[in-house]
């Protein structure tokens, strides 16, 4: 993430802090609206995060400020020159605002990827794991299945874990016994406790955990060796996950870079698909 971006400055402000779930929610909302936050009142920020105004005040104090006005003053002082409220939201209907919100999430993801190091490290971990477990439950199950579908075209052994229950640990055990060294997890709100427990167990068994989560402050952070955040959209009745999906494809690309035979596997699949008439041209 670019060190001069509003989102990067906020991220640095929160790093290393022990925040409550409510405070993590406020922090996440601030990062998502980094350009607007220095101009929001405590009431407006509370509405944005879906918390109470006193929670915003306590959050500012937890960050070491006398109160929210002091935090906002600090944010205005460090904001890049020319920053101003985005404004104009009233000109768009709720559907347009949801799309624009996702565009902003993708911009934040692009800033994050300015440093390719974490993604490249994740790609090496995933490429080296035989087999490769891919975990995602409930809202994140579609992300896990999508990643697993494409990963299986280049990786020799991909195991999608998209169902919870008593068998989940058994499947993690089976993967570990078969030689797995890493696990990738897609974690989206609302975060199932079962996912957090599964990651804690995976680490106990010696697996390196790579997580794609909606925030660096997500509950899975504690049990992730490498977490790469990609925000979800919250403008509609159900969250949208364009940024996490794109990040999953980026991680696939990085994993392919760590698999010398990835291109050959893709070409082999295309040849078999053509022979079977699998796709309509």
Q: What is the pLDDT of residues 167-224, one digit of tens each?
A: 999 999 999 999 999 999 999 988 999 999 999 999 999 999 999 999 888 999 999 9
Instruction: Give the pLDDT confidence of 52-87 residue by residue, as tens digits.
Output: 999 999 999 999 999 999 999 898 887 654 444 444
The predicted model scores a pTM of 0.74
The 3-state secondary structure of the chain, one letter per residue: CCCCCHHHHHHHHHCCCCCCHHHHHHHHHHHHCCCCHHHCCHHHHHHHHCCCHHHHHHHHHHCCCCCHHHHHHHHHHHCCCCCCCCCCHHHCCHHHHHHHHHHHHHHHHHHHCCCCHHHHHHHHHHHHCCCEEEECCHHHHHHHHHHHHHHCCCCCCEEEECCCCCHHHHHHHHHHHCCCCEEEEEECCCCCHHHHHHHHHHHHCCCEEEEEECCCCCHHHHHCCEEEECCCECCCCCCECHHHHHHHHHHHHHHHHCCCCHHHHHHHHHHHHHHHCCCCC
């Amino acid at each position: 993430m670019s060190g001069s971006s509003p989102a990067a400055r906020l991220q640095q402000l929160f790093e290393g802090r022990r925040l409550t779930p409510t405070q993590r929610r406020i922090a996440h909302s601030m990062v998502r609206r980094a350009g607007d936050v220095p101009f929001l009142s405590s009431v407006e920020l509370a509405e944005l995060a879906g918390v109470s105004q006193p929670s915003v005040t306590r959050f500012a104090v937890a960050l070491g400020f006398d109160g929210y006005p002091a935090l906002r003053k600090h944010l205005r002082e460090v904001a890049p020159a020319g920053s101003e409220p985005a404004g104009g939201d009233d000109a768009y209907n709720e559907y347009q605002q949801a799309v624009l919100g996702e565009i902003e999430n993708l911009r934040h993801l692009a800033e994050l990827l300015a440093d390719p190091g974490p993604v490249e490290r994740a790609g090496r971990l995933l490429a080296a794991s035989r087999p490769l477990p891919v975990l995602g439950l409930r809202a994140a199950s579609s992300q896990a299945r999508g990643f697993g579908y494409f990963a299986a075209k280049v990786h020799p052994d991909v195991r999608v874990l998209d169902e919870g229950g008593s068998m989940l640990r058994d499947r993690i055990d089976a993967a570990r016994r078969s030689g797995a060294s890493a696990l990738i997890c897609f974690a989206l709100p609302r975060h199932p406790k079962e996912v957090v427990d599964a990651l804690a167990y995976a680490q106990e068994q010696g697996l390196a955990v790579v997580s794609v989560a909606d925030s660096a402050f997500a509950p899975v952070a504690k049990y992730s060796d490498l977490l790469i955040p990609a925000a979800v959209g919250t403008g509609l009745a159900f969250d949208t996950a364009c940024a996490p999906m794109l990040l999953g494809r980026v991680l696939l690309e990085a994993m392919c870079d760590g698999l010398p035979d990835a291109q050959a596997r893709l070409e082999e699949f295309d040849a078999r698909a053509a022979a079977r008439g699998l796709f309509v041209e």
